[in-house]
Amino acid sequence: MTHTPHIAVLGSANMDLVTYVARAPQRGETVTGREFRTLPGGKGANQAVAAARAGATVSLIGAVGTDSYGTQLRCALAQSGVDTDLLRTVETQSGTAHIVVDDKGGNAIVVIPGANGTVDALSAGDEALIASADALLLQLEVPVDGVLAAARAARGHGVRTILTPAPAQPLPDALLAATDLLLPNEYEATTLTGVFDDPRAAALALLSHVPEVVVTLGSRGSLYAARGAEPVTVPARETTAVDTTGAGDTFAGALAVALAEGRPMADALHWASAAAAVSVERPGASASMPYRKEIDARANGPAQGPAS
The mean per-residue pLDDT over the stretch 253-264 comes to 97
Among the ranges 96-100, 102-106, 242-246, 248-252, which has the highest mean pLDDT value? 248-252
Nearest one of 262, 293, 254 to 50, comparing CA atoms: 254
The mean per-residue pLDDT over the stretch 116-125 comes to 97
The mean per-residue pLDDT over the stretch 70-74 comes to 97
> Which residues does 305 contact at the CB level (< 8 Å), separation at least 6?
237, 238, 239, 240, 277, 281
Give first-to-last CA distance, the chain, whole Å. 33
257 is a domain residue:
yes
Report pLDDT digits (tens) over 151-181.
Answer: 999 999 999 999 999 999 999 999 999 999 9
Q: Catalytic: which of 83, 126, 134, 249?
A: 249
- Say whether 58 sits in a helix, a strand or coil: strand
Residue 137 contacts residue 51 (beta carbons within 8 Å): yes
**Residue of higher predicted confidence among 210 and 229:** 210
pLDDT on residue 281: 87
Name the percent of the chain in helix, strand, coil, to the closest 5.
Answer: 35, 20, 40
143 is a domain residue:
yes
pLDDT on residue 47: 97
pLDDT on residue 34: 93
Nearest one of 193, 163, 190 to 177, comparing CA atoms: 163
pTM for this prediction: 0.91
pLDDT on residue 304: 44
Residue 101 contacts residue 20 (beta carbons within 8 Å): yes
Share of the chain above pLDDT 90, in %: 82
305 is a domain residue:
no
* Residue 305 scores a pLDDT above 60: no
The mean per-residue pLDDT over the stretch 46-69 comes to 98
98 is a domain residue:
yes
Range of the structural domain that residue 45 is part of: 6-26+33-300
Q: Quick check: is 67 catalytic? A: no
Q: pLDDT-based confidence at 89, cuts 50/70/90? A: very high
* Residue 36 scores a pLDDT above 60: yes
Helix axes 186-193, 199-206, angle to 10 degrees: 50
293 is a domain residue:
yes
Mean pLDDT score across all residues of the chain:
93
Q: pLDDT-based confidence at 245, cuts 50/70/90? A: confident
Residue 146 contacts residue 122 (beta carbons within 8 Å): yes
Q: pLDDT-based confidence at 2, cuts 50/70/90? A: low
The mean per-residue pLDDT over the stretch 21-31 comes to 94
Residue 144 contacts residue 18 (beta carbons within 8 Å): no
pLDDT on residue 308: 28
The mean per-residue pLDDT over the stretch 256-260 comes to 97
**Strand ranges, E, within the chain:** 6-10, 14-20, 35-41, 57-64, 82-83, 87-89, 95-101, 107-112, 135-138, 160-163, 181-182, 212-216, 222-226, 232-234
1 is a domain residue:
no
CATH number of the domain bearing residue 215: 3.40.1190.20
162 is a domain residue:
yes
Lowest mean pLDDT: which of 32-41, 147-156, 180-189? Answer: 32-41
Report pLDDT digits (tens) over 192-202.
Answer: 999 999 999 99
84 is a domain residue:
yes
* Residue 302 scores a pLDDT above 80: no
pLDDT on residue 233: 93
* Residue 287 scores a pLDDT above 90: no
User: Count of domains in the chain?
Assistant: 1
